[in-house]
Amino acid sequence: MGHVTSTWVEPSNTATALLLLGRGSDPDTERGVECPGDLPAPSDPDLVARAAAAKAKLGSKVFVLGHHYQRDEVIQFADVTGDSFKLAREAAARPDAEYILFCGVHFMAESADILTTDTQRVILPDLAAGCSMADMAVLGQVEAAWDTLTELGIAGETVPVTYMNSSADIKGFVGRNGGVVCTSSNAKRALDWAFEQGSKVLFLPDQHLGRNTAVLEMGLSLDDCVLYDPHKPGGGLTPEQLRDAKMILWRGHCSVHGRFTLESVNDVRERVPGVNVLVHPECRHEVVTAADYIGSTEYIIKTIEAAPAGSAWALGTELNLVRRLALAHPDKQVMFLDKAVCYCSTMNRIDLPHLVWALEELVAGRVVNQITVDVDTAHHARVALDQMLALPGADTPPAAAA
């Protein structure tokens, strides 16, 4: 493989504005951006009835998936709710559904396309619903990083591990290079497997999940971890740092979970005596170490469901989910960890007008916003996903933080 370089070009203000409006293109991200057709007005009082009528007309031909971070107005029409990997597997378990309508973000719909049959079509109501974390690792950058490791003679002992929250291109890269995909629930098992294959791990694209798993669950030290910045020559690291590291962490993060700070934790403890702080492992290391409990989205939900009445919980995760849990458990005090409102802005692009439009277009016989992954990429991404499914052991709830 020849040397690949990655050059950062600052986008113009106009290009950025068009991208945010869903009327532009950015070839270096995993997102699509165009949304053809006329959407219903968001103020249309008949949107709920229109969505219900269209879904009823389609019947078993359509299967609607709703990620936990979706708006309530959308989640009410989901046949199944869950995290990204659960939803992709649910789609694969419905081979008779002609259309998989994925209310989530782009990389999730890609995973569903990889895992479903060739006759099924996966649809994303708004192609501009991307993921900022996934966009922080693009294929050219990762291939350039791999070239750097190859030139140093350490690629052969390095196993790539990518978080589910990555593009199909990155999953494909990992599959081609003997690696594995992981979720926030099984990251430790994936890393255990990886360190049986080699002495180093290149962890993509979320530095925080990689660091927190390595240090808090596997006994590695912070000194065993280095941060690779794709916008700097050699990742901003010396050859010695790369040779000595056990965990090469990609400089990526979740725009939601990365907002929480140690001050947020200290502030809620002062305001709410006896509060339990429960955070997602995508949070910063200092936040996770200051929390009482750490776990995936599914773990957070199950923990709140099992919590005793009267208990107080500050949750470090996306606000739509926190609000939904608070409403579902009025006997408990469930609150957002930070004082600032923090929705996932790209996840929230899937709104009721986009859902109605996608459903009504299907009723009219028009397939819109279909997500397809090319055959070669899908094959290698499936290799990495299958390796994850083959990992030994079963998921167990994470322990309370020390």
Q: Are 86 and 298 in contact (CB under 8 A)?
A: yes
Whole-angstrom Cα distance, residue 375 to residue 385? Answer: 15
Tell me the binding residues for iminosuccinate. 67, 84, 163-165, 184, 280-282, 297
Residue 316's nearest CA partner among 272, 270, 256, 253 is: 256
At position 156, the amino acid (one-letter code) is G
Tell me the binding residues for [4Fe-4S] cluster. 131, 254, 344
Q: How are beta strands 62-67 and 80-82 bridged, if at all?
A: parallel
Tell me the binding residues. 67, 84, 131, 163-165, 184, 254, 280-282, 297, 344
Whole-angstrom Cα distance, residue 127 to residue 66? Answer: 15
Q: Are 78 and 55 in contact (CB under 8 A)?
A: no
DSSP secondary structure string, 269-314? HHHSTTPEEEE-TTS-HHHHHHSSEE--HHHHHHHHHHSPTT-EEE
The residues pairing with 248 across neighbouring beta strands, listed in sequence order, are: 202, 226
The residues pairing with 66 across neighbouring beta strands, listed in sequence order, are: 81, 103
Residue 144 CB coordination number (10 Å): 18
Whole-angstrom Cα distance, residue 52 to residue 73? Answer: 12
Using omega within 30 degrees of 0 as the cis cutoff, is the peptide bond preceding 353 cis?
no
Using omega within 30 degrees of 0 as the cis cutoff, is the peptide bond preceding 95 cis?
no
Q: Are 4 and 144 in contact (CB under 8 A)?
A: yes
Residue 8 CB coordination number (10 Å): 9
Helix, strand, coil shares of the chain, percent, nearest 5, are 45, 15, 40
Q: Are 228 and 251 in contact (CB under 8 A)?
A: yes
- The DSSP output letter for 67 is E
